[in-house]
Structure 1
Amino acid sequence: MTTTLGTASAAPGEMDTGRLEVGETRDGSPFGLPVAVINGGRSGKTLYMQAASDGDELNGVGVIQRVVPQLDPTEIAGTILIVGIVNYHAFQVAQHRNPIDDTKMNRAYPGNENGTSSERIAAATYDAASRADLILDLHQGSTSRMIDEVRVRCGKRHRLHDDCLELAKVFGCGYILDQKGPDGQLARTAPDEGIPTVDPELGGAVGWDETSIEKGVEGVFNVLTHYGFLDGDVSLESQTRARGFEQYGAPGGGLVSFSKDLGDHVRSGETLFELTTPFGETKTEVTADSTGILWRTRRLPQVASGEYVCSVATDIDTY
């Protein structure tokens, strides 16, 4: 059976690309999101993938750019639906939020087809995602430096929590953040429709990181293999799971110098960072309140009093 998404249409064993029209720009010109349909030669599940719902999070775009050319539709069982760039307006200007309505797109799901710009885009992409059995919403920590992680956002009491956790383990970044997310996130909303969904956060800070992109490519192929889209087996490796965090702010203004690297274990009382003047004079040292893992840090060194500096994961186990 032929499968369509926007103007992309593919018969079994074929692939096609096109556009999913979602509105008009300020001069009245129609615009659409880049989409792809990979219709396998054999029947199977449907996977939906999207990237750049935050317009400056480019690593997910890099993953899709590298995954799609490696896929042979005749060797695939099932269907893969892809929206390559979700936040069209933000992507054009390399910004995080949609500049048309100053909205963070990943707070707008399930959307509203008659709503704001972001709500209309969310509604169109959610309609596509709702056709799937599994969802990968590719992100990165564009406002901070962070480890490669996969986020499970439905909450531990959700009926699909174990399914989402399995999907995160299969993706296999090495780290899982298992914490209920804010309203409007795709990874929070789609499980309510019975679709296991995760949010891989492929590294952090604005840019195009080759290591994180390659990790994302490997994760996508892990999912395709484990869930039967491709033949083969995946050896599942234990993941470090975090369910709680302590955040640290700057006690004063100056320049931050970290004593630990991302992913390092820290002990209670160990120095996390020091604050210096522009001349390298130490103003103060900040130590860890609890034992954990340095999970996330600010992107730029300069801080004002009370400004966010870093996060340490404290509720940790192995899954």
Structure 2
Amino acid sequence: MTTLGTATAAPGELAVGRLTVGEARDGSEVALPVAVINGAHDGKTLYVQAVSDGDELNGVGVLQRLIPQLDPETLSGQILVTGIVNVHGFHVAEHRNPIDDTKMNRAYPGDANGTSSERIAAATFEAATRADLILDLHQGSTSRMIDETRVRCGHRHRLHRECLELAKVFGCGYILDQKGPDGQLARTAPDEGIPTVDPELGGSVGWDEESIRVGVRGVKNVLAHYGFVEGDVEVEPQTRATGFEQYGAPAGGLVAFHADLGDDVARGDPLFDVTDAFGTVKSTVTADSEGILWRTRRLPQVATGEYVCSVGTDIDEV
């Protein structure tokens, strides 16, 4: 039998349930939706989670599409799933956990006796560290972003090669290979010996169907490559960035981009103009380095200093 929260599945079964993480302000139980897919055959364990940032919905879209397609009778090993990590943020469509104003993916490994976010992180980290592989499904919040997979352990980490291989197998086409901030699951779990990546499935408000399809395909690639299901995966070369430059607005107004997501840019190329309401250019921002336009804001209006876009730099192919 395999259990996660109240979900218990015998070999060859799928079960759903809830993982208790505390109580709400009215004293009612707060619990995360979880699932266990227990394969009929022996094999590895995969842990998958989504929505650790409450407005990043493409990951749960992946799970909604994928899990009904999985047959425990033909599966080798086990899949443990937390469908919605930041349940408080999810309920109000906010990025951070509104109970303690915390970005959940900065709270790992958590604290079972800590704040709301720390307790959620501790509960999901305990589940994640039962696995051999971890996928933490994200997206670019409300920004526009290419589909990419992030390797966050750092180049010198003993598991860097394994994490990079997992990112290549997932196969978004782009990899950001850069050490992440403290408290990220994809940075913390490799310290426990578990290859972990953070697929960033585009960016949108609500669902982005193409990015969800990329995510479903990516999880299926992982299941096949690591022997959970039968099938072969051709691991294709990925475009990797090991640097990331962010650009803000030097003036207030409306942004007009010179390049689109995924476009190559050279040092000195114009990235965007800031215009007034009547189309007069107030300022033009150029690229500091050669790279790829990786992420942009969704809405055009900006104040001075507000985030506008990011360029992935130090590009190679892996």
- Same fold by TM-score greater than 0.5: yes
Structure 2: distance between partners of 1:206 and 1:114: 34
Query: Cα distance, 1:266 vs. partner?
Result: 1.1
Query: Cα distance, 1:8 vs. partner?
Result: 0.5
Question: Which residue of structure 2 lines up, in the alignment, with residue 51 of structure 1?
Answer: 50
Question: Which residue of structure 1 lines up, in the alignment, with residue 293 of structure 2?
Answer: 294
- Three-state SS of the structure 1 residue aligned to 2:95 is coil
The residue type equivalent to 2:11 in the other structure is P
Question: Which residue of structure 1 lines up, in the alignment, with residue 199 of structure 2?
Answer: 200
Show structure 1 runs of 4+ deviating over 4 A.
none
Question: Which residue of structure 1 lines up, in the alignment, with residue 240 of structure 2?
Answer: 241
Structure 2: distance between partners of 1:101 and 1:11: 37
Instruction: Specify every segment of 5 or more residues in structure 2 that has no aligned partner in the other structure, as ranges.
Output: none
Structure 1: distance between partners of 2:289 and 2:89: 38
Structure 2: distance between partners of 1:188 and 1:246: 20
Written as runs of structure 1 = structure 2, the 5 A alignment for 1:46-195 is: 46-195=45-194
> CA-to-partner distance for each residue in 1:55-92, whole Å, 9 max, x for gaps?
10000000000110000000000000000000111111
Residue 218 (structure 1) aligned with residue 210 (structure 2): no
Percent of residue pairs bearing the same amino acid type: 77
How many residues matched? 318
- Three-state SS of the structure 2 residue aligned to 1:140 is coil
Query: Cα distance, 1:284 vs. partner?
Result: 2.2
- Three-state SS of the structure 2 residue aligned to 1:203 is coil
Structure 2: distance between partners of 1:272 and 1:8: 49
- Three-state SS of the structure 1 residue aligned to 2:119 is helix
Query: Cα distance, 1:143 vs. partner?
Result: 3.9
> CA-to-partner distance for each residue in 1:201-237, whole Å, 9 max, x for gaps?
0001332100000000000000000000001110010
Query: Cα distance, 1:268 vs. partner?
Result: 2.0
Structure 2: distance between partners of 1:44 and 1:99: 39
Structure 1: distance between partners of 2:266 and 2:170: 29
The residue type equivalent to 2:30 in the other structure is F
Query: Cα distance, 1:269 vs. partner?
Result: 2.1
Query: Cα distance, 1:289 vs. partner?
Result: 2.3
- Three-state SS of the structure 1 residue aligned to 2:110 is coil
Q: Compare 69-78 and 245-254 and name the one that shifted more.
A: 245-254
The residue type equivalent to 1:289 in the other structure is D
Q: Compare 105-114 and 264-273 and name the one that shifted more.
A: 264-273
> CA-to-partner distance for each residue in 1:143-186, whole Å, 9 max, x for gaps?
42111000000000000000000000000000000000000000
- Three-state SS of the structure 1 residue aligned to 2:175 is strand
Instruction: Specify every segment of 5 or more residues in structure 1 that has no aligned partner in the other structure, as ranges.
Output: none
Structure 1: distance between partners of 2:256 and 2:124: 41
